[in-house]
Amino acid sequence: MIANHIHDALAQVRKMQELVLAKRNFRGYSGTARAIGGVVAIAGAAVISFMPIARTPESQLLVWGAVLAISLVVNYGAMLWWFLYDQEAGRDINRLLPAVDALPALAVGAILTFALISHQHYDLLFGVWMVLYGLVHVSYRLSLPGENYIVGLFYILCGTICLFAFNDFYNPWPMGVVFFAGEIAGGYIFNRNSAK
């Protein structure tokens, strides 16, 4: 009799643990949208390399700004769609709170970008963007799949290498390849996680 009560209590604890973990697992990001962002990044690198674009900081920044804008619209548009139409989200604003975790690193990224541009330190931009985007991933370690943390470390490592070794702002391939690989991997992780 006591063994049955213990077994029932353990089953209830497991069920509660599953519920808590399900609540912590943020599903508002789309793996497909994320992968599209990676394709947009490699396309941006190709545009800079193969199109007759002036080799000026302004033209390079314009292309990378377009890459950022397209990726933000696709990713946050997908999140908005999830929020409005997914039953799991239920239009509960609290379900969007994990997305707020990214804001400090993104804000610092914007501040550092403008500071580096104003001092004409363009060669540091790719590394700074990668490192800070990696920190965004690390900040999600409790609300996104654990493999996403590894993707964050990948961005931090690549950004560190770019800061010290491959810091040529006019070579778009390190930026394009790193963000392509990271976003494709992240998209795969999100899609695999949402299928569970």
**Which of these ranges, 64-73, 80-89, 178-187, has the smallest mean pLDDT?**
80-89
12-49: buried (b, 16+ CB within 10 Å) or exposed (e) per residue? eeeeeeeeeeeeeebbbbbbebbbbbbbbbbbbbeebe
Q: What is the pLDDT of residue 1?
A: 65
Amino acid at site 50: F
Mean pLDDT of the chain: 89
pLDDT at 170 over 70: yes
Q: What is the pLDDT of residue 186?
A: 96
The domain spans of the chain are 2-183
Question: What contacts 102, CB < 8 A, 6 or more positions away?
Answer: 136, 139, 140
Comparing 108 with 193, the larger pLDDT belongs to: 108
pLDDT digits (tens, 9 = 90+) for 131-160: 999 999 998 888 888 899 999 999 999 999
Hey, CA dihedral for 171, 177, 182, 183, is it positive or negative?
A: positive
pLDDT digits (tens, 9 = 90+) for 80-113: 999 999 888 788 888 888 888 888 988 999 999 9
Q: What is the pLDDT of residue 98?
A: 82
